Structure 1
């Protein structure tokens, strides 16, 4: 909410003139006092089936400094352990400024983490993204501010310290500059991350009529340096960008003690893991957009597994991926209608290898080639009656060395309102979800003598169908009724083998996954000093498989997510703000297993100071009571397994920010979900 002071000069003058005519001369004229009008900026707008959210206003007093943290305050968005999910959607892709390209998920999060929240203009939530974005399903589109020549050089520097079990450090520099028809952007960050978590597992494994009680207590410690460089230059409608991310000093070690003895498992990078993306995009004056990008990903690491002092496994994983992507879009405006059509092509070569030095056993060394081609036609229109919509139909062809298929992917997004205070939105979409490259090679990784991770060359992509009906009241309150259905849904699950004493982790196709639910987003503001946002998501989930290895399951359960976020300022203009939030989750399922309920409380403080408040210190404590640690259980058809996690979210983070010259530039990187990475 913001206050607007208006001095009504003309109204005062006209009132005075009428007073001279209608009131006796014995009564003197009276001047009007300054009138203060309280207004409230809309938090949510709707058009063409798209929710436009004023996220900068929502997070302005909250202890967040980067876009990744800010996304957690979007309506319907849940940030769990730093991973972004959207209630009412099975998965969500993130793009920036509506431009398609590719990036591994971990690289995307690192980029968003290093991008200042001041770059934001607004955020668009699309439960069914139009085909012109070249991303299927739900999308969060981050719209950035554009620098102007009058702004000069603008920038921001940050320093961060994060204390969990171990300390992590970060630093970054962002800058933007515009001159005549040119704009330039730069983003650099360096992060030294050290992580720790712990899992206790209890497996009651029945084999040949004998019950084996197997326990394990494993601690995992990870270290790495991550270096990110992003640079972009644009001349009018021609844009060029480079994004490079290099992770070095990678060392992940797990120490386990249990029924089968003491184990030390070391995963170490033999060379830095690198990601490089170069993108080019041009928009013509007559509605034609041409673009493309080139991506290269490289990873090479080794595994050494010891039981006591005796080496049991010595292996090497190698992955080298190149991917080319090109697209063409054309739009025509015909009255209230906009007609669009286009084509998209992507080719990738995944050269992966797994070699066992000890013991001698079979690995793999092959190249997986993949082609995805599509063509679409769509249109959008807005009518005076308050109805607006966008719809498209895309034909997609998928081909790799093992399979090929055609898919028809329809999409519809519609908005209707008589007044902006009452808005209805309908979204329907279809999405084909593909497995990671590494899993399709069928490699094997060992955790210890008992637990093993298997790839799956027979893994099939699955089709996800979704529908959402939303009601937005007074451009701030939102309710969404949704239904999700994933045919041949896949997920990684543990399985107690019935042929030998091994616990197998493998990604398998299920029959289906189905979820229906209702989500509510309710923000309140009390006298400009206390802001409250309540979130509630109630749903029923079901996952079924008639052939899970040699078993079957039909798991269904009611679930709930409830969140309560508070931000307090001592006065409307106070440079200090406090934030306290609480959340509760229950009823989550995964395959034939389920999660115990989770809850946590976070708190933070933001202090702005310096000339024009150019400096800022943010202090945030996450999961203060260290209680948000999931427990996963499986208990069906003789499967009896439990995993308890510890120290998942508990940490304290302090960030210092210095901005110069009113820093509010943009960023031009756009991302989809990741399929890269040599899994373990």
Structure 2
């Protein structure tokens, strides 16, 4: 198969010979449109070469445009055409008709060349991982990009990354992964919809895996970052997908995405609408050891939600050096949260009273977000860049609740209450990044980020007294939280083909203030911290590499950690925030080895983390009521080992596994009580993907999380199993999915608190979820399931 356009001398030859042909007198114009045989979609950038019938020599040629059209002018002579494009069979055209000096070939269809694809894999353009200083770079080769799969399936080929059939992404077995597109947040990276379905493998240059971020990234960080780098020559045309889903408990939705790429614009939109229900079974026991009184409770909670969201955005390529992005999203949710909790109060073995507490809650949640981004590439080097971005978001909640207590037996405990919540949160992020590769080995980076979080939560509780609802001043207040974080960073790196080192320093100033307006209780904190980072890597061979890294991280208390007022659904088990909570700081050290053994790829890490002012949830007990609040308690030193791997023994079977062991040493005191102890916890995950005949994929994933000791008791472990099956139709243009989460309803959360004067037990279970969806993809996008997951 001839792919001449890969050679610059051939391109120059085409240009030169085309101009010569135009200069001749008796000319023939050849026109036509190139399409895919299976989908009738246009094929841009294919090679159309014109040869002399007698001498077999190349006369001239051209490439197809973004809509698959081509136009060639030649001198009148005998000729034939060869049309070629990577991944398709070369087509030779020898029969044609000349009419009025024109040859109109109409629609020309190319069929996929499976054998050629196999040959490409063998010749060396295979996907592989390159190890950089603070990240691993998975370069997408033709073995993946020629098959037309989506970005999610490309991610699933990346070592340490796993994507379930439903589209959930984990890194080293952990969720909460941040997805970036070309180094920045984007609505195209939104995991709550099918946005990644509009990005196909042949649009992707590489994927960066960052498990221990450098100073370039904010110090609060996430469990990991996956940065998808798109090729500059993204395929032009229409991409899109639409999905319909149903499930039990109720999970019904319709979602879609549409993407249009031209030479200068990339226009995209997404939408989703549906209804879902999230039930939860609960149990609790409060036992007073001083007087032998016990409160038992059990019930069922629901969060029913109707939702709608839409996204609009565009990338504008002003020229090859400047790209602007503007996008916005609007969502609206209507919530209904019914719950029913049964209570029993015992004194010893004697029943004192039994009652039921019902809740009716309604909430309306508008939210929107918007983004502006400008990326400039300098002419001297495509890696020499400047990027400026601004992001904003708003979330509101107008919620009202009615609680009614009805005595069933024994003493009367009826106590009806009403609550009202008016919540508003606005977040703004402004960011600038500059990267300059001074030489092939030396690179500097610098930048700044300013984040504003502005939150107000007006919460009122009213008790039913003598026929009227009266405001409870002890539980009513308006909480205002404002946080501003300014960060500046600089990094310098040296890297050759074997070894490299990268140093970085980030400075962050945090200005935090909280105010309880009704009581005028204010708390202000302003602190500046340095966050150094150090990364190095050494490449032993193509199959073995080592990385080492150090970073200092921060956990800043969130709104629900600081806000002293919470839902009183169960008024014997109440969680409240702590406005005086301080941030915790962690020094993180990590040594990682990455190696390939045959068809298996493995990654193992030995890590140590030392954390100060550890945030722990502490329970206190008064009048048989358990009050849980976060507190800063001492230090935690942990030593851990983590390993994960992926093994492809055959084309139809993929095995993945993750194992994490953590030994910790806790030290601290709180209210004259010492919390010094050591413990360990471990978790494992084993998954298998099986390719069955008729384009059917089967997936089984088992999870285990061990129990572990806490500062006041223990938390039990659990085992669970997830199941998924997927059927592709029409070469993946239609996809049907069936998924079962927690097949045996065994993912239980059980927590014990054992103290000298009281004991508590908490239990929660979401249960089994079954979903079924069918999707259709058009253009160059694959069908992807829109699951309607909560944003």
- TM-score range normalised by the length of the shorter chain: 0.7 to 0.9
Tell me, in whole angstroms, the C-alpha distance in 1 between the residues paired with 2:141 and 2:577: 43
The alpha-carbon deviation at position 437 of structure 1 amounts to: 2.4
The alpha-carbon deviation at position 555 of structure 1 amounts to: 4.6
> Match of 2:313?
232
Are 1:395 and 2:503 an aligned pair? no
Are 1:361 and 2:466 an aligned pair? no
Tell me, in whole angstroms, the C-alpha distance in 1 between the residues paired with 2:471 and 2:424: 24
Are 1:254 and 2:321 an aligned pair? no
User: Is this contact kept in 2: 1:444–1:453, CA < 8 A?
Assistant: yes
Are 1:47 and 2:132 an aligned pair? yes
With a CA cutoff of 8 Å and minimum separation of 6, indicate the structure with the bigger relative contact order. 1
Are 1:377 and 2:490 an aligned pair? yes
CA distance 1:514–1:460, change in 2 (3 Å)? same
The alpha-carbon deviation at position 470 of structure 1 amounts to: 0.9
User: Is this contact kept in 1: 2:427–2:453, CA < 8 A?
Assistant: yes
> Match of 2:633?
510
**Between 399-408 and 363-372, the greater mean CA deviation after superposition:** 363-372
Stretches of structure 1 that go unaligned for 5 or more consecutive residues are 1-33, 667-673, 675-680
**Between 210-219 and 499-508, the greater mean CA deviation after superposition:** 499-508
The alpha-carbon deviation at position 423 of structure 1 amounts to: 0.7
The alpha-carbon deviation at position 351 of structure 1 amounts to: 2.7
> Match of 2:701?
581
User: Is this contact kept in 1: 2:738–2:770, CA < 8 A?
Assistant: yes
Tell me, in whole angstroms, the C-alpha distance in 2 between the residues paired with 1:507 and 1:317: 22
CA distance 1:46–1:109, change in 2 (3 Å)? same
Are 1:325 and 2:325 an aligned pair? no
Output the TM-score relative to the length of structure 1.
0.81
CA distance 1:658–1:181, change in 2 (3 Å)? same
CA distance 1:125–1:331, change in 2 (3 Å)? closer
Q: Find 2:724's aligned residue among 601, 604, 613.
A: 604
> Match of 1:620?
739
Tell me, in whole angstroms, the C-alpha distance in 1 between the residues paired with 2:157 and 2:402: 38
> Match of 1:433?
555
Q: Which has the larger radius of gyration?
A: 2
Question: Does the residue aligned with 2:562 lie in a helix, a strand or coil?
Answer: helix
Written as runs of structure 1 = structure 2, the 5 A alignment for 1:132-171 is 132-134=216-218, 136-138=220-222, 139-143=224-228, 145=230, 151-163=236-248, 166-171=249-254
The alpha-carbon deviation at position 393 of structure 1 amounts to: 0.1
> Match of 1:297?
395
CA distance 1:467–1:78, change in 2 (3 Å)? farther
The alpha-carbon deviation at position 84 of structure 1 amounts to: 7.3
The alpha-carbon deviation at position 241 of structure 1 amounts to: 3.2
- Alpha-carbon RMSD across the aligned residues, in angstroms, is 3.8
The alpha-carbon deviation at position 424 of structure 1 amounts to: 0.4
> Match of 1:485?
610
Count, aligned residues: 615
Tell me, in whole angstroms, the C-alpha distance in 2 between the residues paired with 1:486 and 1:339: 30
The alpha-carbon deviation at position 250 of structure 1 amounts to: 0.7
User: Is this contact kept in 1: 2:159–2:601, CA < 8 A?
Assistant: no
Tell me, in whole angstroms, the C-alpha distance in 2 between the residues paired with 1:507 and 1:86: 28
Are 1:423 and 2:423 an aligned pair? no
CA distance 1:449–1:395, change in 2 (3 Å)? closer
Written as runs of structure 1 = structure 2, the 5 A alignment for 1:132-281 is 132-134=216-218, 136-138=220-222, 139-143=224-228, 145=230, 151-163=236-248, 166-206=249-289, 209-236=290-317, 237-260=322-345, 261-269=355-363, 271-281=364-374
> Match of 1:653?
771
The alpha-carbon deviation at position 390 of structure 1 amounts to: 3.1
Question: Does the residue aligned with 1:129 lie in a helix, a strand or coil?
Answer: coil
User: Is this contact kept in 1: 2:287–2:760, CA < 8 A?
Assistant: yes
User: Is this contact kept in 2: 1:230–1:241, CA < 8 A?
Assistant: no
The alpha-carbon deviation at position 307 of structure 1 amounts to: 0.8
CA distance 1:213–1:114, change in 2 (3 Å)? farther
CA distance 1:247–1:115, change in 2 (3 Å)? farther
The alpha-carbon deviation at position 439 of structure 1 amounts to: 3.9
The alpha-carbon deviation at position 149 of structure 1 amounts to: 6.8
Question: Does the residue aligned with 1:116 lie in a helix, a strand or coil?
Answer: helix
The alpha-carbon deviation at position 275 of structure 1 amounts to: 3.3
Tell me, in whole angstroms, the C-alpha distance in 2 between the residues paired with 1:149 and 1:560: 43
**Between 94-103 and 597-606, the greater mean CA deviation after superposition:** 94-103
> Match of 2:97?
none
User: Is this contact kept in 1: 2:371–2:389, CA < 8 A?
Assistant: no
Tell me, in whole angstroms, the C-alpha distance in 1 between the residues paired with 2:709 and 2:179: 28
CA distance 1:232–1:641, change in 2 (3 Å)? same
Partner deviation per Cα, 1:233-287 (whole Å, 9 max, x = no partner)? 1122333333424242211222100225211133321x33323233333325363
The alpha-carbon deviation at position 100 of structure 1 amounts to: 4.9
CA distance 1:92–1:158, change in 2 (3 Å)? closer
The alpha-carbon deviation at position 219 of structure 1 amounts to: 0.6
Tell me, in whole angstroms, the C-alpha distance in 2 between the residues paired with 1:585 and 1:620: 22
The alpha-carbon deviation at position 570 of structure 1 amounts to: 3.8
Tell me, in whole angstroms, the C-alpha distance in 2 between the residues paired with 1:159 and 1:70: 24
Output the TM-score relative to the length of structure 2.
0.70
Partner deviation per Cα, 1:106-127 (whole Å, 9 max, x = no partner)? x997635664385574643322
**Between 519-528 and 218-227, the greater mean CA deviation after superposition:** 519-528
CA distance 1:527–1:432, change in 2 (3 Å)? closer
CA distance 1:447–1:84, change in 2 (3 Å)? farther
> Match of 1:127?
211
Partner deviation per Cα, 1:300-345 (whole Å, 9 max, x = no partner)? 2123222128563212222222333222222222211111112222
Written as runs of structure 1 = structure 2, the 5 A alignment for 1:439-588 is 439-474=561-596, 476-493=601-618, 495-497=619-621, 499-547=622-670, 551-570=673-692, 574-588=694-708
